[in-house]
Every structure is written in structure tokens, then in C-alpha cells.
């Protein structure tokens, strides 16, 4: 199992680009998978490095970060499915 970072407002954390966070409820930046972590401690330590602290962060256990798995777990995927189809 892996851990992902989720915010009720921003969605699932899928990465960063030029210092900006990419989230499923905002902009996925073309990603098809969420960033996964080996433990909640590692995920929390990573989140604590951000310049802006997100107050509503939660950590979820998932099999993997692929958008299909996120759907199965009832998590928001934004445009991740479309990103995969665009990449083909």
C-alpha cells in the first residue's frame, strides 16, 4: 500500500511544476497518477517543505496512484483520465 496526500478543497496532490502544486481540483499538469509515499510520516515531512501550508491535508492508503485506482477509492481525479487519452 502507498500513501497519497488529499485536500478537501484542492483534491489529490499529483506533483509540482516550477514550485506550484498540482492538484486534481485545480490543475493536474497532464499527470495520470498521484504522487505516492511509503508512509504517512514521509508524506507529512514532504508537505512540511511547502511554502504554503495546506490546513486540511489528509493521508489516504491506496494500492497505487493511478487515476483508475483513485476513482475506485472515491477520490477526485480532475482531468487525469483525459490526460492519459491525450498522451496516446
Band the pLDDT of 81: cuts 50, 70, 90. Answer: very high
Band the pLDDT of 88: cuts 50, 70, 90. Answer: confident
Q: Between the CA of residue 76 and those of 41, 51, 62, what are the distances in Å?
A: 23, 24, 13
Give the chain's domain count: 1
State the average pLDDT over residues 11-20.
95
Which residue range is the domain that position 19 belongs to? 2-87
The pTM of the full predicted model, rounded to 2 decimals, is 0.94
| Separation between Cα atoms, residue 80 and residue 46, nearest integer Å | 23
Amino acid at each position: 500500500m502507498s500513501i497519497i496526500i488529499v485536500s478537501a478543497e484542492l483534491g489529490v496532490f499529483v506533483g509540482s511544476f516550477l514550485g506550484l502544486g498540482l492538484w486534481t481540483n485545480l490543475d493536474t499538469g497532464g499527470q495520470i497518477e498521484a504522487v505516492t509515499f511509503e508512509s504517512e510520516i514521509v508524506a507529512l515531512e514532504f508537505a512540511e517543505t511547502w511554502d504554503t501550508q495546506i490546513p486540511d491535508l489528509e493521508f489516504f492508503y491506496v494500492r497505487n496512484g493511478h487515476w483508475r485506482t483513485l476513482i475506485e477509492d472515491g477520490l477526485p481525479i480532475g482531468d487525469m483520465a483525459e490526460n492519459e487519452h491525450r498522451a496516446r
